Structure 1
Amino acid sequence: MSTLSVSARWTFRLHRWALAVWAALVVVGAGLLVWLAGPLMDEAARGWQQLQACQASVCTIDNAAMGRYSSLYDLLTDGMFLMPFLVAAWAGATLTARELESGTGLLAWTQGVTPARWLASRLALPALAVTAGGGVLVALHRYAWSASEDRVDTRAGWWLLRTFYANGPALVAVCLAALALGALTGLLVPRTLPALGITVGATALLFAAAHWLMPYLWPSVTEVSRFQDGYRGLYTGVELSHGMTTLSGARVPTPECAARSMDMCRRIYEQHGGTGFYTTFHPASHDWPLQLTTSAVLLLVTALLTAASFAVLRRRTG
């Protein structure tokens, strides 16, 4: 039996409880998402149809079903959005820091397992579990979200922060980056609690940076409209900017207008040289391009963090 397989078995034994908890969370989450997309969705849709058909002042409407659907959707979406921080907390606390702090890592290196194989085994199994479990949850969440289209009025927009990540591979990529970040932090700061705190904080910064960069990873769309038509595309996708177009073709912020009618505001806008409104945004057709480009950037960061972990370990062990 190779030293790598021995190290992988030891990794499984060492972290079997964490893997069991992760598997349980995935199974429970998957079951709830299937229920959300099926029976609970049907109940909420019937309640919404009753509300739409109601013409009288007093109607019998199944508000409870719609409430249960919205509450469970929010709970599951919030839970999935917090997955990277759960992975970060575990990776920072136990993946490398705890073994170096307790000395079990040093013991393994004296038993025929090279430091590089030790680290590879520590990363491979959790990465597989995160990818498989996270992928299942993301696929089921997108299925549940898609099942609500044209059936209830509470369907979340695809561009909303929590829904965007819970619906696509970018969330799995953030989790993998958090895993690699935890391994690197544990090697640099081989103390459990400090490594945990640093990893969670760094994951939050990485997540925020990825979300800030996301709209610029794919060409956006600009819609121009007349003043009387309002802003096109506003609140229908990922917005980058909106404002007023001028006679010279420039795009400037829309002047403030406290008038009660659009005609009065239009005259104020025209006095400033305005000709219409513009909105620069990403429409629904850009959902997958944004998902894939964001995932690619995060996977590149994951690869760099992993390479840095091996470099730090090689320097640490000589």
Structure 2
Amino acid sequence: MSATALSVSPTSSRSPRRTLVRRPRGLIWTVLRLHRAALWTWLAFVVVTAGLLLWLYGPGATAAQQEFDRYGYYVPNGWSSAKNAYDLLFYRPAGFIHVATFVVPLFAASALVGRELESGTARLAWTQSVSPARWLAVKLAVPAVAIAAGTGLLVVLYRLLWTARNGLLYAGHAPQELYFQVGPATVAYPLLGLAVGALAGLLVGRALPALAVAVAVQYVITSLHDHLWPFQHLALFSSFPDLAVRGGAHRTYLPSPDYWPRQLLETGVVLAVTALVVAVSFHVLHKKVSAA
């Protein structure tokens, strides 16, 4: 037997099996597994809402556009017309996004943070190789990525729908409010809700009481958001600073010159408050760990 043959071990001829796709490991994988039901629910919400937006952009607008091309805005039997039905459905995704924004802090306060503190799971993780700061960072980062990606996609689709089909809407405050509320700030608000919910969970330390606190705080935030810009005092048919309407039977909504200043200001303020709440959350966590 040659020396070459002797130098080859029985297992050396077998190449190790390599995994082509690696699963997330460690704390990230734990968070994904622990909250997989919430993740799948969020994914289903994004898919359904995106599907509705795409339908409104495409085949859902066909009948309404045909009525509009034939009759203009004064469609016979308007309340039962395809155009009126389309007008009502146009705002439905905004309602879905609003509800989702309200639900995010409730999830963060109860399931994401409060339940783990109440059950002792969090402290058990802290005694292992996971530091409290890293635990909270991953707890916030994983849902934040999912929330920002999903909401961002819906905002892009909504703006695409608005650009293509806003001329079918009946004039009034509803299209004006939708125009100003769907933008970058729409992505920032659920992130603020996530931070507020996590802080409530840390402060209270129990799932149900933290849930109640999150409901109260989110109600205040929603109320402030609804009154941030005084829509009711703005004339829809003026050319500045709101949406202007031109033409007789065929009216077109014009982009308002103050849309982006409003959106950027509101988004910046919300993100700054979010960062402040996150910093307070880490401070509260540090105090909680030090007192233990």
| TM-score bin (small chain) | 0.7 to 0.9
Distance, in Å, in 2 between the alignment partners of 1:121 and 1:20 is 18
- Alignment check: 8 A CA contact 1:84 1:203 kept: no
Distance, in Å, in 1 between the alignment partners of 2:74 and 2:187 is 43
Residue identity over aligned pairs, in percent, reads 40
Calculate the TM-score normalised by the size of structure 2.
0.77
| Residue of 301, 307, 310 corresponding to 2:273 | 301
1:189 paired residue number: 204
Distance, in Å, in 1 between the alignment partners of 2:201 and 2:238 is 39
Distance, in Å, in 2 between the alignment partners of 1:239 and 1:84 is 30
Higher strand share: 1
Higher helix share: 2
- Alignment check: 8 A CA contact 1:34 1:140 kept: yes
Segments of structure 2 that go 5 or more residues without pairing to the other structure are: 1-23, 242-254
One-letter amino acid matched to 1:96: V
Segments of structure 1 that go 5 or more residues without pairing to the other structure are: 216-232, 241-282
1:227 paired residue number: none
1:186-236 CA distance string (max 9 Å, x none): 000111111112112212212333454557xxxxxxxxxxxxxxxxx7234
Distance, in Å, in 2 between the alignment partners of 1:172 and 1:213 is 16
**Structure 1 segments of 4 or more deviating over 6 A?**
59-62, 237-240
Q: CA deviation at 1:20?
A: 0.7
- Alignment check: 8 A CA contact 1:210 1:294 kept: no
Q: CA deviation at 1:62?
A: 11
Alignment of 1:105-116 (within 5 A): 105-116=122-133
Q: CA RMSD in A?
A: 3.0
1:42 paired residue number: 62
Q: How many residues in Structure 1 have an aligned counterpart in Structure 2?
A: 252
- Alignment check: 8 A CA contact 2:49 2:96 kept: no
- Alignment check: 8 A CA contact 2:240 2:256 kept: no
Alignment of 1:49-68 (within 5 A): 49-52=69-72, 63-68=80-85
1:8-27 CA distance string (max 9 Å, x none): 11111111110110011101
Q: CA deviation at 1:30?
A: 0.5
Distance, in Å, in 2 between the alignment partners of 1:54 and 1:202 is 44
Q: Does 1:71 align with 2:71?
A: no
Q: Does 1:8 align with 2:28?
A: yes
Q: Does 1:235 align with 2:251?
A: no
Calculate the TM-score normalised by the size of structure 1.
0.71
